[in-house]
């Protein structure tokens, strides 16, 4: 039975890109076992909520399973740390604790718009040579048909998805992309139309429309509306790994495909994404290409090798060791309880 003796929370500024921020949680039980969690780009209220209520919610409290804890201050970071601690105490990898059965995952790599088509094809070529069998092209009005045609002509057998980032308002413009054998049309619309345009598009195209929703209730609404046939599942955005499993189960029951993505940060959130992506319904390529390996605080670093991501099954919990000294060096502030 886990019982947390102490906890630490770190506000960490990560050394890459625009220096994103993560909150990292370290839980220690009375036997000295530790569990870690991370939330990336937290809102301003998260730190205050953790400082005010996380110790009261966890320290000295007996629990048999993380699901018993309900909503814990700190959201996905605290929930992840509880799951990591629980799985480590039982000597099982987090993937198996969640019900996952995959030993490896097919990875996708996201390709942003380039200055010209030759540059785009050259960039795709680098990833294909590195072993990737799937890419996701970012598209937008004015940069869609021609880039897609160029990549498909260069690589007829390559798996290709497109991510619209909600940039479209015209269903017809996206329908025109369907002739290029897409694995998914991701996040086509945003705005007040709700799921009506998504449902219209899905009726017109063979590729699954891939929707990102951040709650089980939102997923059930999308399924009822016929708004797609695939779920973009970001464990860090859903709030808890219990809800991740629920979303997975609802999607599978509806016949939807699932792609897991998200995390970035220092590698902990990515490790949880890999564990979630090992669930049996997560058959679409996953996105764990970032952050850079050199910027991660876990070993081995989380990422793809030859276009494949190994699910860590030889170590319990998240399956990665945390460089605590580096966490403390990168921390802008911290507190303990």
The verdict on whether omega for the bond into residue 53 sits within 30 degrees of 0, i.e. cis, is no
**CA-based nearest residue to 39, from 80, 92, 97:** 80
Nearest in space to 111 (alpha carbons), one of 149, 160, 154? 160
Task: Give the integer Cα–Cα distance in Å for 312 and 284.
Answer: 19
pLDDT of amino acid 45:
87
* Distance from the Cα of residue 90 to its chain's centroid: 25
Residue 136 · residue 124 · CB < 8 Å: no
In degrees rounded to 5, what are phi and psi of residue 99? 105, 10
Tokens of 87: 């799985």
The two tokens of residue 136 are 């996701």
The separation between CA 295 and the C-alpha centre of its own chain, rounded to angstroms, equals 18
* pLDDT < 50: residue spans in the chain: none
pLDDT of 191: 64
Q: Comparing C-alpha atoms, which of 280, 215, 277, 222 is closest to residue 243? A: 215
pTM of the entire predicted model: 0.93
Q: How many CB atoms lie within 10 A of CB 6?
A: 15
Q: What is the pLDDT of residue 2?
A: 85
Contact 271, 319 (CB under 8 A): yes
pLDDT tens by residue, 122-164: 999 999 999 999 999 999 999 999 999 999 999 999 999 999 9
Question: Across the beta sheet with 159-163, what order do the strands follow?
Answer: 109-111, 134-138, 159-163, 185-186, 209-212, 230-233, 257-260
Of 161, 185, 165, the residue nearest 174 (C-alpha) = 185
pLDDT value at residue 290: 61
Q: How far apart are CA 158 and CA 60, in angstroms?
A: 53
Residues 16 and 45: their CA atoms lie apart, in Å, by: 24
Can you give the three-state secondary structure of the chain, one letter per residue? CCEEEEEEEEEEECCCCCCCEEEEEEEEECCCCEEEEEEECCCHHHHHHHHHHHHHHHECCECCCHHHHCCCCCCHHHHHHHHHHHHHHHCCEHHHHHCCCCCEEEECEEECCCCCHHHHHHHHHHHHHCCCCEEEEECECCECHHHHHHHHHHCCCCEEEEECCCCCCCHHHHHHHHHHCCCCEECCCCCCCCCHHHHHHHHHCCCCEEEECCCHHHHHHHHHHCCCCEEEECHHHHCCHHHHHHHHHHHHHCCCEEEEECCCCCCHHHHHHHHHHCCCCCCCCEECCCCCHHHCCEECCCCCECCEEECCCCCCECCCEECHHHHHHHEEEEEEC
What pLDDT digit, counting tens, does each position of 70-122 carry?
A: 889 988 999 999 999 999 999 999 999 999 999 999 999 999 999 999 999 99
């Amino acid at each position: 039975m886990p019982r947390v003796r102490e906890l630490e929370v770190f506000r960490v500024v990560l050394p890459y890109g625009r220096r994103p921020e993560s909150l990292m949680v370290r839980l220690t039980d009375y036997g000295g076992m530790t569990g870690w969690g991370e939330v990336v780009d937290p809102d301003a209220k998260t730190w205050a909520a953790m400082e005010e209520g996380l110790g009261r919610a966890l320290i000295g409290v007996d629990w048999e399973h993380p699901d018993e804890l309900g909503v814990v201050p700190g959201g996905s970071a605290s929930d992840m740390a509880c799951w990591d601690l629980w799985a480590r105490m039982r000597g099982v990898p987090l993937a198996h604790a969640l019900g996952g059965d995959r030993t490896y995952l097919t990875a996708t790599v996201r390709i942003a718009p380039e200055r010209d088509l030759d540059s785009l094809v050259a960039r795709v070529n680098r990833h294909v040579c590195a072993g990737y069998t799937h890419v996701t092209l970012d598209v937008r009005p004015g940069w869609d048909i021609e880039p897609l045609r160029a990549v498909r002509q260069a690589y007829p057998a390559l798996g290709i998805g497109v991510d619209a980032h909600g940039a479209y308002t015209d269903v017809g413009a996206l329908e025109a992309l369907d002739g290029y054998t897409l694995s998914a049309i991701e996040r086509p619309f945003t705005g007040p139309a709700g799921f009506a345009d998504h449902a219209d598009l899905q009726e017109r195209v063979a590729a699954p429309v891939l929707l990102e929703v951040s709650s089980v209730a939102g997923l059930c609404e999308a399924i009822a509306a016929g708004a797609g046939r695939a779920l973009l599942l970001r464990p860090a955005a859903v709030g808890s790994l219990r809800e991740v499993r629920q979303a997975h189960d609802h999607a599978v029951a509806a016949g939807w495909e699932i792609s897991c993505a998200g995390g970035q940060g220092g590698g902990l959130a990515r490790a949880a994404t890999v564990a979630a992506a090992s669930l049996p319904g997560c058959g679409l390529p996953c996105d764990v290409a970032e952050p850079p390996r050199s910027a991660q605080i876990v070993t081995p670093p989380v990422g793809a090798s030859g276009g494949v991501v190994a699910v860590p099954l030889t170590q319990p919990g998240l399956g990665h060791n945390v460089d605590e000294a580096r966490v403390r060096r990168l921390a802008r502030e911290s507190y303990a309880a």
